[in-house]
Structure 1
Amino acid sequence: MSLDQIAAAFDRRDYNLAARLLKEFLKESPQNPWGHIYKARLYEVSEHFENATAIYQQLLKSVTHPKIVSHARQGLQRIEARLQVKRQQAIAAAKSDPQNTEPGLLILEAIAPEIRAQAAKALAQIMNLDVYTARLHLPNRGWKIYRLGAIGEMNLYTEQLRTANIPAFCVTEVDLQQVSVFEVQYFEDYAPQAIVVCQNQQGQLGSLSFDWSEVSQRVEGQLPILENVTDVILGREVKRRSKAETLDYLQVYDLHLPKRRCILRMCDWRYQFDQGIEFGAMGDATIELDQAMNRQHWNSLKNFLNEQLLKQPLWADFSSFGETAIEFPMLLERLPAHVQEYDHALWSSAFHLYSSLAFNRDAHR
């Protein structure tokens, strides 16, 4: 059985004959690299791209013959071109469905160091990037907004990323906006049910009772207190440089009640520690609400909540998420903040986005 006969069958696109001839050829010459080139070609035409890629890559590692190397490289290029066309066709099909045109977000989750190199190669292939750029896009910790676009396209990318073992999820902007937020003023009771006095999004006060088992997860974050400062640089001429400097942080803590589609939000500068349940050792009924004492009360409140909800997940990586989220100001301006008496709208919207993403994350998996 000769290679010329196999080549002739390929030229005629008689792949069934080529497969039979190749099977006999590889029995006689199992180590012949040309036989493996044709084997990879058969995988190509049948669209078994992973098998074809594996053979081509193995040949590049083990063979130095210039023609073999050239054929293997050309094979990999053909496969990448075919896959890219398929991805574009799938994206176009997803976008054509009116139900898939709502604005959405694609979120990348942290990648473990041991699989980072492999994940970068996969991301590069899916997003048509070079590997170095793809590696820079992968978050080291927490979440990262990677792309905005039609939810159909974001869903497609999410499926491809998960198939490549890159953790990701997507959500529509509408879903983010449909979660109600109640700002907790204080806890009135905690057993047998928790009762909170809270304020709704219209500023109306009321009480809400819930079982601790209704809380699915917790979200914690710090919002920076920023002040613009001016540096004066003296030299041949005086230069002034204005920049924002972080003076301190405000604390925010959310409880998620998914069955009620609502978030209970507590803010350390808004919580009324002189009302309801006392938290921490306060000595007497008088509560000094200076900054240091307020932080002690806040820590006591957090400890209490953590004891009640020890088994519920806690999302507390807002700092890394927020630093990248504020690079999307137009997105944040479209989303509500639901944080009162805080002057930096982008940061408050970024925290609400982080909490709302956590709220919707598992619903879209």
Structure 2
Amino acid sequence: MIEQIAIAIKNKDYEKAKKIIDQLPLEDDNFLWKNYYYGLLAEKQNNLEEAEKKYRQVIKDSIFPNPQITKNIRDGLERIKLIKKAEQKEIKKQKQKTLIEFQQKENSQDLAVLVIKPTTIEQKNNIAKQFAEIINLDSYTAKLQIPTRNLRLYQTGNYGELQYYQQEFKQLNLSTICHSIKEINQVIVYQVKYIKNDEEKITLLCNDKNSKEKEIILNTQEITNKINAIVPIFELTVHTNNKRKLTRKKETLDYLNFCDLHLKNTKTIIRFNDHIYQFNQGISIFNQDKTNRNKWLTLLRFLNDRIDQVSIHNDFTPFAEGAIQFPEMLKQITSNINIFRKQETLWDEAFQLYSALILLDSL
């Protein structure tokens, strides 16, 4: 029967070969030959993972190794190794070709960012190995790059190259956002000074990027995203250390509250900020509160009551903590936040990046 199996496989009559293998008894060496030929059959049908699994199982089951089976398995494993090596070489060649194609696209040399969207822990574990192969890192380190809770700025670089990685990640069902800094800076931002009236429609008095006043009628039906965030205000404080020497320390003095509303049809951000909004102007609903904090909360309630169900994003802070690790990129972003700061920071630019990316991703 062993010879019949070998002949059937040689003639590529794999169905006949399997039938004969199934008939082999499980006594003596027949048990080993049976699994060996199951492995050889899988190899011939290009099911390399199954073939390797069967071959290695025979080795584990060989209490008293059969020299011929052992040699056949070694030859089989070597063939699989060479096939995989050739396949990996071809895959690498194709990926390099694809990368070059992306790098030759229009605007491919523009500075851009690649952000990974959060996925489930189960999905993260399932794709960790393949993700590691794509970014050329060990599995443990690569796995740490995959977020499960918040957006994560993964990398900055040339637009073309990052688009290539975006395509590779997509094949793993890993969602990403990739846009150039030029696209980020093209997003229109209006800073709301106050709400003029709330009769038939909401009318806003805003400042554009040049600080010129502009009256905007807000159509709440066009709002697609709502961004809630706090941005720290830093200051340098002076302390005396153990050696009685004066030292300077950067500390958080206060926070700026932001609420961005996105109008995707015009690629526009309507920005509310508690330090800029003039609560004593426009509609009087906010004057009933004594503190700016309460006035801000009333403003948020006012907006919530008038905005239909939209996508709400509240995870700016963890995103920013990663984004500020890329200072040279952030310096290229126009923050559209005209607030005087005693201590310079890139958190304003990080917020603009975060809000603009979410807007562009919804287009």
- Give the TM-score range, shorter chain: 0.7 to 0.9
The separation in 2 between residues aligned to 1:332 and 1:243, in whole angstroms, is 23
The separation in 2 between residues aligned to 1:130 and 1:37, in whole angstroms, is 32
Superposition RMSD in Å: 2.9
The separation in 2 between residues aligned to 1:94 and 1:199, in whole angstroms, is 39
TM-superposition CA deviations, 1:282-339 (whole Å, max 9, x none): 17xxxx5xxxx10110011111112222401111110010001011111111110100
The separation in 2 between residues aligned to 1:163 and 1:116, in whole angstroms, is 14
The separation in 1 between residues aligned to 2:241 and 2:86, in whole angstroms, is 57
- The farther-off stretch of 181-190 and 55-64 is 55-64
Q: Which structure 2 residues correspond to residues 1-365 of structure 1 after superposition, within 5 A?
A: 1=4, 3=6, 20-29=12-21, 32-37=35-40, 39-40=42-43, 42-43=45-46, 52-53=48-49, 55=50, 58-59=53-54, 62=57, 64-65=59-60, 67=74, 76=84, 78-98=86-106, 100-229=108-237, 232-234=240-242, 242-280=248-286, 282=288, 293-343=291-341, 344-363=344-363
Shift in Å, 1:37? 4.7
- The farther-off stretch of 27-36 and 125-134 is 27-36
Shift in Å, 1:90? 1.3
Point out where structure 2 has 5 or more consecutive residues left out of the alignment. 23-33, 61-72
**Structure 1 131/75 Cα, relative in aligned 2: closer, same or farther at 3 Å?**
farther
TM-score (norm 2): 0.81
- Assess if the C-alpha contact under 8 Å between 1:219 and 1:254 holds in 2: yes
Shift in Å, 1:145? 1.4
- Assess if the C-alpha contact under 8 Å between 1:339 and 1:348 holds in 2: yes
- Assess if the C-alpha contact under 8 Å between 2:41 and 2:51 holds in 1: no
Tell me, what secondary structure is at the counterpart of 2:288?
coil
TM-score (norm 1): 0.81
Shift in Å, 1:171? 1.4
Q: Percent identity of the aligned residues?
A: 25
The separation in 1 between residues aligned to 2:37 and 2:59, in whole angstroms, is 13
Which amino acid counterpart does residue 337 of structure 2 have in structure 1? V
**Structure 1 145/115 Cα, relative in aligned 2: closer, same or farther at 3 Å?**
same
Which amino acid counterpart does residue 247 of structure 1 have in structure 2? L
**Structure 1 220/32 Cα, relative in aligned 2: closer, same or farther at 3 Å?**
same
Which amino acid counterpart does residue 336 of structure 2 have in structure 1? H
Shift in Å, 1:229? 3.8
**How many residues end up aligned between the 2 structures?**
334
- The farther-off stretch of 75-84 and 273-282 is 75-84
The separation in 2 between residues aligned to 1:273 and 1:2, in whole angstroms, is 87
Which protein is bigger by CA-based radius of gyration?
A: 2
The separation in 2 between residues aligned to 1:80 and 1:34, in whole angstroms, is 26
Tell me, what secondary structure is at the counterpart of 1:86?
helix
The separation in 2 between residues aligned to 1:77 and 1:231, in whole angstroms, is 61
